[in-house]
Amino acid sequence: MSHVCIIGGHGKVALILAQMLKTGGNDVTSVIRNPDHTDDVENTGATAVVADVEQLSVAQLADVLEGHDAVVWSAGAGGGNPERTYAVDRDAAVRTMDAAAMAGARRFVMVSYMGAGQDHGIPEDDPFHAYAQAKADADDHLRESELDWTVLGPGALTTEEATGKISLGTRGRDEERKTARGNVALVVSAVLDDPSTIGRTIDFCDGDTLITDALTEAE
């Protein structure tokens, strides 16, 4: 049994993932900012911890992560405010990575987005620029860390039913890169159980290949 901490525990992907991991016999902690979301989280079987990662120091975050084997970053500011986007999607994420190393939670899975990177090409006057840059910086910090990391880049998220099948890579038109949130949760769960995904960046969307086969084929 693994002890997994999900940061951003009230997100749609996180709620699906928590229930999935609990069903698989894992011990799950879901970190949330709003105490009103406690019941939603605990209905998945996870333990809810109310903590504002935007405000906590590395040492305080390390206290939250103490005793966990793995961390899944599934939090985000939600866009709209560039200053807060950088504060959450970059700065809080970076502190959480440093805290994971401090706490001995070596496995770290980052939920990013398809095509994230310093070459994102989003102009500064585009509302998406802050998010793209924040994610690029956070992903790079994780790759440069000594953690056992995996960066996941799903395509545009949908509420479609999970199929358990994906396609890897960033090819195709935007409308072909849709990704069910349930499939994202399935991929997170799969990589947590697959040491071969450590040190890899995996872009994916809904497709025709079973998740476990797709991850194996990409090794």
Q: Residue 154: name the closest of 56, 37, 12 by CA.
A: 12
For residue 28, the SS3 value is strand
* Separation CA 126–CA 161 (nearest Å): 31
Q: Residue 45: name the closest of 75, 2, 16 by CA.
A: 16
What confidence tens digit (pLDDT) does each residue in 91-129 have?
Answer: 999 999 999 999 999 999 999 999 999 999 999 999 899
pLDDT band of 84, cuts 50, 70, 90: very high
pLDDT on residue 79: 76
Mean pLDDT taken over the chain:
95
pLDDT on residue 167: 95
Amino acid at 192: L
pLDDT on residue 176: 65
Query: Percent of the chain at pLDDT above 90?
Result: 91
Contact indicator for 11, 76 with CB cutoff of 8 Å: yes
pLDDT on residue 78: 84
Query: Percent of the chain at pLDDT above 70?
Result: 95
What confidence tens digit (pLDDT) does each residue in 149-181 have?
Answer: 999 999 999 999 999 999 998 665 555 689 999
pLDDT on residue 177: 85
User: What does the DSSP assignment read for 41-95?
Assistant: HHTTTPEEEE--TTT--HHHHHHHHTT-SEEEE-----SS-HHHHIIIIIIIHHH
Residue 85: left if φ>0, alpha if ψ -120 to 50, beta else—which one? alpha
pLDDT band of 219, cuts 50, 70, 90: low
Helices (H), the chain: 12-23, 38-42, 58-65, 82-85, 93-103, 129-143, 181-192, 211-217
What domains, with CATH codes, occur in the chain? 3-217 (3.40.50.720)
Say what the pTM is: 0.95
What confidence tens digit (pLDDT) does each residue in 175-185 have?
Answer: 568 999 999 99
Residues 184-194: b if buried by 16+ CB within 10 A, e if exposed: bbbbbbbbbeb
In the predicted model, what is the mean pLDDT of residues 55-70?
98
pLDDT band of 218, cuts 50, 70, 90: low
Assigned token pair, 90: 């970059």
